């Protein structure tokens, strides 16, 4: 029997069976092959190397696509909804990858970089493929509603155990983004969260980094995300993901770090990598919490992490810490409503009109000329829009023309941690710079009314496919001190969209 004949009778893989079997290496390779697509495209941009966009756009040319469209696979799995969903998501992914390849071939490298950003169509399509392969791993709504009833069991074995609670953490010598050596002494007097991950290239590891970036705003506490990625790769991934409050450290010079901390995987497909783990250290590097994720489907115990930090802050009273620290109970409530799917945000249906109103602070006497100029352009733009709206409504008044002084931007996606909004007006761009903070803004969501929120702008990307007068950019924001009532309303809206999506799929 020749090789092609042998391949044609390969039994269908366990990912599409109703009675879920343990994850095998073949499933991990399939997911990994699509995670690595982003690296291939980044490499092509860096080398300014043209790609075969036509082939990339096809969904039956990669190894996974060949298996999906194999006659034997369709025979055994074609009737399953999960298989059909995976075929659909995989095809969409290759269409988006093909669009990026077209931009690269046209030497539009800046546009191609924007198209690879964390909140882009390509990124969402990539996540959708991984979700289709491992729904419970990234999208807990499937398991919560008994949608697929999966049992993910792939136990990782490590060389040793994590440093024990109550003991001292081993010192390390890691490398930061500036290629400088860093030890625990560099963070003396601070409480530290050591977030150890195999690679920031893995979706679940980036999710954890984003979660810490969004939830940890505590005085005298620093989050150190440690992986084997090269420092400039770490910086690139964190920048793309809009993660600014997490320090990335690389083990590429520290050959003994994994063994010293007991996180070196010694079995299976991941042998040689580091297992996911979290250590919480106090100001004197004593371990006050530790957790090793020994299974792929296991998640961090955020409640225990923040409870340990809260207990540590109570031992050393600090009024600022008391105000900044989230209670373990309130964080637990938030995290019970949040899940990994929300960190990637959910697209808002075209039928829903969700938008954000951002008030423009009027310039003062000591305001810069640049600000006054930008304010004047934006204010005039707002008034023209308001005037046009009133003319359409046929009740224009001289008083009414000056009643509005806010930018109104439609929302593109949303989660309990933030949202993205679309800006079609270049005049507004000045006020939407990354790291700028906007307080007491209004978000309007169907059936939930007006929600008052404050947020920080984390990313801004021009979209290659320009719309409306040749300007279109996507603004990603992260909530600041979101109120419980607002969080409940957004979570409820997200769940409504999820239910509609499942019913219509």
CATH number at residue 127: 1.20.120
Q: Is the pLDDT of residue 432 over 80?
A: yes
- Separation of alpha carbons 256 and 247, rounded Å: 20
CB atoms within 10 A of CB 248: 24
Question: Within a domain: residue 473?
Answer: yes
Higher local confidence (pLDDT), 387 or 274: 274
Question: Within a domain: residue 152?
Answer: no
| pLDDT of the residue at 51 | 93
Contact present, 347 and 124 (Cβ < 8 Å): yes
The answer on 354 and 331 residing in a single domain is no
The answer on 434 and 295 residing in a single domain is no
Taking the CA of residue 463 as centre, how many other CA atoms within 13 Å lie in the half-sphere pointing to its CB? 23
Domain boundary among 144, 165, 187: 144
Higher local confidence (pLDDT), 196 or 383: 196
Contact present, 251 and 221 (Cβ < 8 Å): no
Q: b/e string for 390-420 if b means 16 or more Cβ within 10 A?
A: beeeeeeeeeeeeebeebbbebbbbbbbbbb
The answer on 331 and 207 residing in a single domain is yes
pLDDT band at 316 (very low <50, low <70, confident <90, very high): very low
| pLDDT of the residue at 89 | 87
DSSP for residue 23: P
Residue 77 annotated in active site? no
Q: Is the pLDDT of residue 9 over 60?
A: no
- Separation of alpha carbons 292 and 119, rounded Å: 29
The answer on 353 and 291 residing in a single domain is no
Question: Within a domain: residue 481?
Answer: yes
Domain boundary among 97, 125, 144: 144
| pLDDT of the residue at 221 | 85
The answer on 261 and 222 residing in a single domain is yes
Question: Within a domain: residue 168?
Answer: no
| pLDDT of the residue at 30 | 66
From 205, 343, 354, 441, the catalytic residue: 205
46-55: per-residue pLDDT in tens?
Answer: 888 899 999 9
420, 242, 290: which is closest to 345 by C-alpha?
420
Question: Within a domain: residue 82?
Answer: yes
- Separation of alpha carbons 138 and 203, rounded Å: 8
pLDDT band at 120 (very low <50, low <70, confident <90, very high): confident
Mean pLDDT of the chain: 75
214, 159, 173, 169: which is closest to 192 by C-alpha?
169
Q: Helices (DSSP H) in 140-286: which residue ranges?
A: 141-144, 203-215, 231-240, 257-260
The answer on 441 and 352 residing in a single domain is yes
pLDDT band at 453 (very low <50, low <70, confident <90, very high): very high
The answer on 10 and 140 residing in a single domain is yes
47, 36, 154: which is closest to 97 by C-alpha?
36
Q: Is the pLDDT of residue 274 over 70?
A: yes
Q: Tokens 């490590």, residue?
A: 158
Domain count of the fold of the chain? 3
Range with the poorest average pLDDT among 229-233, 328-332, 350-354: 328-332
Question: For the residues 482-496, what does the mean pLDDT come to?
Answer: 83
Contact present, 274 and 227 (Cβ < 8 Å): yes
CATH number at residue 439: 2.40.10.220
208-262: per-residue pLDDT in tens?
Answer: 777 776 665 566 888 899 999 899 888 887 776 667 778 999 999 998 999 999 9
Q: Is the pLDDT of residue 306 over 90?
A: no
Higher local confidence (pLDDT), 285 or 478: 285
Contact present, 293 and 276 (Cβ < 8 Å): yes
Helix then strand then coil, % of the chain, to nearest 5: 45, 20, 40
Contact present, 431 and 360 (Cβ < 8 Å): yes
CATH number at residue 181: 3.40.30.10
Question: For the residues 391-420, what does the mean pLDDT come to?
Answer: 69
Question: For the residues 84-88, what does the mean pLDDT come to?
Answer: 82
Q: Which structural domain, as residue segments, surrounds residue 495?
A: 346-360+405-504
* Residue-wise DSSP of 34-53: HHTHHHHHHHHHHHT----H
- Using a cut of 0.75, tell me whether the model's pTM lies above it: no
- Separation of alpha carbons 483 and 405, rounded Å: 25
What does each C-alpha distance from 256 to 200, 226, 264, 404 come to in angstroms? 20, 13, 10, 61
Question: Within a domain: residue 262?
Answer: yes
The answer on 473 and 413 residing in a single domain is yes
| pLDDT of the residue at 403 | 53
Question: What sign results for the dihedral spanned by CA atoms 153, 157, 158, 164?
Answer: positive
- Separation of alpha carbons 505 and 501, rounded Å: 6
The answer on 318 and 430 residing in a single domain is no
Contact present, 60 and 74 (Cβ < 8 Å): no
The answer on 297 and 212 residing in a single domain is yes
Question: Within a domain: residue 285?
Answer: yes
Strand partners, 279: 194, 290
- Separation of alpha carbons 69 and 75, rounded Å: 10
Question: Within a domain: residue 468?
Answer: yes
The percentage of residues in the chain with a pLDDT greater than 70, rounded to a whole number, is: 70
The answer on 228 and 188 residing in a single domain is yes
pLDDT band at 320 (very low <50, low <70, confident <90, very high): very low
Which residues lie below 8 Å from residue 315, measured CB to CB, with a gap of 6+? none
128-165: per-residue pLDDT in tens?
Answer: 887 777 654 433 333 333 333 333 445 678 898 899 99
| pLDDT of the residue at 294 | 73
The answer on 221 and 126 residing in a single domain is no
Higher local confidence (pLDDT), 80 or 164: 164
């Amino acid at each position: 029997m020749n090789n092609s004949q042998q391949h044609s009778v390969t039994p269908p893989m366990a990912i599409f069976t109703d009675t879920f079997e343990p994850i095998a290496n073949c499933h991990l390779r399939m997911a990994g092959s699509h995670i690595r697509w982003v690296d291939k495209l980044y490499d092509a941009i860096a080398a300014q190397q043209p790609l075969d966009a036509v082939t990339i756009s096809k969904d039956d040319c990669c190894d996974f696509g060949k298996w999906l469209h194999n006659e034997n696979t369709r025979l055994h799995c074609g009737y399953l909804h999960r298989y059909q969903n995976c075929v659909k998501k995989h095809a969409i992914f290759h269409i988006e990858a093909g669009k990026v390849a077209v931009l690269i071939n046209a030497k539009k490298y800046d546009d191609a970089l924007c198209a690879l950003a964390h909140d882009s169509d390509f990124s969402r399509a990539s996540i959708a493929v991984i979700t289709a392969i491992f729904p419970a791993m990234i999208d807990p709504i499937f398991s919560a509603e008994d949608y697929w009833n999966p049992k993910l069991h792939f136990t990782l074995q490590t060389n040793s155990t994590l440093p024990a609670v109550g003991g001292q953490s081993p010192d390390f010598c890691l490398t930061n983004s500036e290629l400088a050596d860093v030890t625990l002494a560099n963070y003396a007097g601070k409480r530290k969260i050591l977030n150890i991950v195999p690679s920031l290239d893995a979706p679940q590891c980036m999710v954890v980094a984003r979660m810490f970036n969004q939830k940890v705003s505590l005085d005298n506490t620093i989050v150190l995300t440690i992986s084997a990625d090269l420092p400039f790769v770490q910086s690139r991934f964190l920048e793309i993901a809009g993660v600014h409050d997490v320090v990335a450290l690389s083990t590429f010079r520290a050959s003994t770090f994994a063994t010293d901390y007991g996180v070196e995987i010694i079995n299976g497909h991941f042998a040689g990598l580091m297992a996911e783990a979290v250590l919480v250290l106090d100001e004197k590097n004593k371990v006050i919490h530790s957790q090793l994720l020994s299974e792929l489907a296991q998640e961090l115990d955020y409640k225990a992490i923040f409870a340990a930090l809260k207990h540590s802050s109570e031992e050393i009273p600090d009024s600022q810490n008391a105000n900044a620290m989230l209670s373990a109970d309130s964080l637990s409530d938030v995290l019970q409503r949040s899940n990994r799917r929300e960190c990637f945000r959910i697209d808002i249906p075209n039928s829903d009109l969700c938008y954000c109103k951002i008030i423009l602070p009027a310039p003062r006497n000591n305001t810069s000329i640049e600000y006054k100029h930008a304010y004047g352009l934006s204010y005039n733009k707002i008034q023209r829009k308001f005037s046009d709206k009133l003319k359409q409504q046929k009740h224009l008044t001289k008083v009414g023309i000056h009643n509005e002084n806010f930018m109104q931007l439609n929302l593109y996606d949303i989660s309990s941690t933030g949202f993205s909004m679309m800006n079609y007006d270049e005049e507004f761009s000045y006020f939407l710079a990354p790291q700028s903070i906007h307080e007491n803004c209004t978000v309007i969501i169907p059936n939930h009314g007006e929600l008052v929120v404050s947020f920080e702008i984390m990313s801004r990307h021009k979209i290659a496919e320009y719309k409306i007068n040749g300007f279109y950019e996507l603004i990603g924001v992260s909530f600041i001190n979101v109120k419980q009532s607002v969080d409940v309303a957004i979570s409820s809206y997200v769940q409504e969209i999820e239910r509609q999506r499942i019913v219509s799929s």
